[in-house]
Amino acid sequence: MSLKPNFSPSGIEAGVDEAGRGCYAGPVVAAAVIFRRGYYHPLLNDSKQLKESQRNLLRDVIEKEALGYGVGFVDNLEIDKVNILQATYQAMHKAINQLKITPDKLLIDGNRFKSYEKIPHHCIIKGDTHFISIAAASILAKTYRDAYMQDLHKEFPCYGWNVNKGYGTAKHRRAIELYGLCSYHRKSFRINPIILNQ
């Protein structure tokens, strides 16, 4: 798949995407990436279309070759306080705020966004399959979050976060039935455990 390098023929654009919105546990993580005009890499694609090894390889490439990038975390406590949508906006704003270059335009994956300062933005459904900067942001958000969940797994290995990364898999739900929720679970989510006696 050939991704578009720019939304418009001129200007400094930052692609923005998130990872972990639907998880039962852990933070929501967002990333913002700026590439030079016309940048291309043959492996860059939506993070969901890549193997874990490819994402980890591309994380290093993106961090070396991007003009700027940022990654923002919002933890489960804040998610429970403000709701997942507002927490996602916060994570995106944190990521954009880390950019060393102020973009002229923001390309947002999805259909909703809370304006950041006075920078114009465009919401693009499935933008990570169309624009290279959004694809790169999806890779950074995913790899940073996965690494974070690997660390949390060491503290709570019973939930299998090294594999499921906090998503509501059968194993994760069975563990919740056995051990209950821990300090990293999103208590505001309707978490349905698998009842073992059924």
Asked whether residue 138 is domain-assigned, the answer is: yes
Asked whether residue 136 is domain-assigned, the answer is: yes
pLDDT over 60 at 197, yes or no: no
Cβ–Cβ < 8 Å for 98, 57: no
Cβ–Cβ < 8 Å for 149, 162: yes
Radius of gyration of the chain (CA): 17
pLDDT over 80 at 181, yes or no: yes
Distance separating alpha carbons of residues 107 and 191, to the nearest angstrom: 32
Distance separating alpha carbons of residues 68 and 100, to the nearest angstrom: 6
Task: Supply the DSSP symbol for 153.
Answer: H
pLDDT category of residue 1 using cuts at 50, 70 and 90: very low
Distance separating alpha carbons of residues 68 and 80, to the nearest angstrom: 31
Q: In the prediction, which pLDDT does 127 show?
A: 92
Which range marks the domain in which residue 164 is found?
13-179
Asked whether residue 35 is domain-assigned, the answer is: yes
Strands 13-19 and 121-124: unpaired
Asked whether residue 190 is domain-assigned, the answer is: no
**pLDDT tens digits along 111-164:** 999 999 999 999 999 999 999 999 999 999 999 999 999 999 999 999 999 999
What's the mean pLDDT when you consider all of the chain? 92
Specify whether the backbone of 60 is left (phi greater than 0), alpha (psi in -120 to 50) or beta. alpha
Strand order in the sheet with 13-19: 68-74, 28-34, 13-19, 105-109, 121-124
Output the six-digit token pair for 119: 């920078």
- Which has the minimum average pLDDT: 26-35, 46-55, 122-131? 46-55
Number of domains in the chain: 1
Q: In the prediction, which pLDDT does 198 show?
A: 45
pLDDT category of residue 49 using cuts at 50, 70 and 90: confident
Distance separating alpha carbons of residues 115 and 177, to the nearest angstrom: 40
Query: What CATH number should be reported for the domain holding residue 102?
Result: 3.30.420.10
Q: How far is CA 85 from the centre of its chain?
A: 13
pLDDT over 80 at 46, yes or no: no
